[in-house]
Structure 1
């Protein structure tokens, strides 16, 4: 077992052993000895909006839906802050007094699953309707071919274009680029007219910078079987593409360390930015700002980034049956309609996307989740991100070639695997 999570994992392991060795030999609450769902569960959620009252009403409705099916079970919703969530969850589970269900994101799930912290849900999903889930939404819930969560929300990042800039370079906002080659043609025209072509937030997450280009090139970073692919010929092509755009001035000079370029885009100095639903909210608030949204680009593949939010069950839950059934109810189509109407994220069930039928832009973004990968699904995914970022920055500074930067990134990933 890898020792990446440290002392808290050791405590958790002890807690699991103690839970398994119940000296009284009592049945776990909620099983009833025959699979009957009863007893009490605690669910940890986060503040997904700034409207606590609307979220409480939403959770009350979801609990009522759950109790229609399982009237003998009681659900307690506890809202915990986003900050220090990892530490809070690990500490609680290690002490064997954590939640029975909690919300997880893609870089948490494989860490927890790899350490035996999560309940495998496959036994609870026999005969369950999984076909309605967007296939890409299930990528982040699966580790080593086992399902450890069910998804409730997705995002899809894609290019938002400034219509005024499009027209200034002599192009048509109704005929947007679909390939790398087409985008490069537009980027060159933008440069000739003294516009930047694209935002590149080199100081931010790799999910919004390098990774989508790698996936579109047909490459990968690291597989679940620990195969390092970031320096494959396909992945190197992505390094080369980014380096080429920077050297030609298609990207702002501060792109090596920048966190965003919203002011340049909104101020009419940039052709496109990579954005999602949050970008949509911000842009719609600007008076007389005209923009259009394009499908994700493709080279060998049409892929983009988009996070997935899921609910999981700890392996030391006192009531795994009731917890697993809650996860199924909270992610069914009706509950997803309630949750995502309030939060304005994209449902992970195709049938629930109808909540955006009357909203032009959200409806469009919802069609792109089929192309959205949730990042690097691996226990070291979070750890390697700043290491890769440093190599890309060194390349953009002109101190390494794209191939040298990719090889160096592969070396630091291998070193992290060896820990």
Structure 2
């Protein structure tokens, strides 16, 4: 999907002037006599590598390796924290002072592009576009231009407590119909067929939206101007969950269930399927249930197969000056190359955004996550994406509690969400 976004018609005067002033085309003064890029580039990097000391060492080495290859460029990688990231980046854009490149998510890209805060980066991967998973590029493509180069992916797939299915004499279900069939059999033994994390703390990208996509639905219309989750497909997705709840196929507290695995019904062995699982959660599941009892499978399938996979995007901000444009482009190319992604994914435990980088981990897990990467949906980038989630989540809870029908819940949510979208 080539995303379209409605451009903001008004921003603060300071931001408007700043962003307009720094979005001019690149000048021809950003290369040395030998054609090599030159200049200064600042990158804001966030905690991709969880261990703080290891992160510091890794990115210092990255700086050194890059500058060895491009000695006329002074690269500074500043390590930031996730705390108040949106506010930090927005303030930098408004002040026209801060990073040339920043690590962001697709929905953030939509937001910052909406106020003129990003510049296109197609040139950075001009010769290697085909090496990237298409969905990772689509996530950062707006109005047919690329506004972020995918550095890595977080991807989620299905994990099973194999024991509960073996004990019930059932095969591991991979489709909605198979889950429907398994649910009453497992419920007779006090087992919920599938987990669902209904707490508002959980992003809908990891709770309701994968089922919406599996039904063939979307959150927004193709042009991003209309709410679409109240479609026939959306109702089918929510009814699937509501029907499971009624049959004991979801935990009793699914509408409010928290995110953590420790202390959850899943860890207690009373749930069969976790539909969106990342590798770090696999380790927790195996610690709780036993290594041999946890199996990883491909994403679930309704009308289609889909899961959530969120690329981390290196985006070029409007702060970048034209004299440093070629240098910034070379940084983007270097940090998203095959060799660098191989090193980063080994250090961070994420997944590559490139098809030519091998996925690490046990062979069975690797095969399942490779399948997931091929059908990963990066979410639906829109400046109002997070506000729309905040409107929709309580209505999903109402349907799961039986307070509203699936259709009524989505229609009421869509009316409120459309007002939010119109304002944005």
Q: TM-score, normalised by structure 1?
A: 0.90
Matched, 1:328 2:341: no
Question: What's 2:195 paired with?
Answer: 199
From 309, 314, 317, give the equivalent of 1:311: 314
- Residue correspondence of structure 1 range 45-56 to structure 2 within 5 A: 45-56=45-56
**Within 2, Cα distance between the matches of 1:34 and 1:412?**
58
Question: What's 1:294 paired with?
Answer: 297
Would you say the 8 A contact 2:37–2:72 is kept in 1?
yes
Would you say the 8 A contact 2:42–2:100 is kept in 1?
yes
Aligned in 2, Cα 1:271/1:323: closer, same or farther, shift over 3 Å?
same
Aligned in 2, Cα 1:259/1:351: closer, same or farther, shift over 3 Å?
same
1:326-375: CA deviation from partner (whole Å, max 9, x where unpaired): 11111111110111110000011111125x16554245323311111111
Moved more, 356-365 or 241-250: 356-365
**Within 1, Cα distance between the matches of 2:270 and 2:247?**
16
Secondary structure at 1:265 match in 2: coil
Question: What's 1:266 paired with?
Answer: 267
Q: Tell me, which stretches of 5 or more residues in structure 2 are unaligned?
A: 1-5
Question: What's 1:368 paired with?
Answer: 372
Moved more, 242-251 or 342-351: 242-251
Q: TM-score, normalised by structure 2?
A: 0.89
Question: What's 2:174 paired with?
Answer: 178
Question: What's 2:394 paired with?
Answer: 390
Question: What's 2:214 paired with?
Answer: 216
Moved more, 203-212 or 252-261: 252-261
Q: Tell me, which stretches of 5 or more residues in structure 1 are unaligned?
A: none
1:115-168: CA deviation from partner (whole Å, max 9, x where unpaired): 211011124443x11111111222321122210011111122222111221112
Aligned in 2, Cα 1:59/1:121: closer, same or farther, shift over 3 Å?
same
Moved more, 206-215 or 155-164: 155-164
Would you say the 8 A contact 1:224–1:378 is kept in 2?
no
Would you say the 8 A contact 1:29–1:39 is kept in 2?
no
1:191-218: CA deviation from partner (whole Å, max 9, x where unpaired): 1211111111111221111111111111
**Within 2, Cα distance between the matches of 1:385 and 1:33?**
51
CA displacement at 1:103 relative to structure 2:
0.3
Question: What's 1:279 paired with?
Answer: 281
Aligned in 2, Cα 1:247/1:150: closer, same or farther, shift over 3 Å?
same
**Within 2, Cα distance between the matches of 1:47 and 1:158?**
23
Secondary structure at 1:415 match in 2: helix
RMSD: 2.5
Secondary structure at 1:155 match in 2: strand
Aligned in 2, Cα 1:202/1:17: closer, same or farther, shift over 3 Å?
same
**Within 2, Cα distance between the matches of 1:417 and 1:35?**
46
**Within 2, Cα distance between the matches of 1:405 and 1:342?**
43
Question: What's 2:3 paired with?
Answer: none
Question: What's 1:30 paired with?
Answer: 30
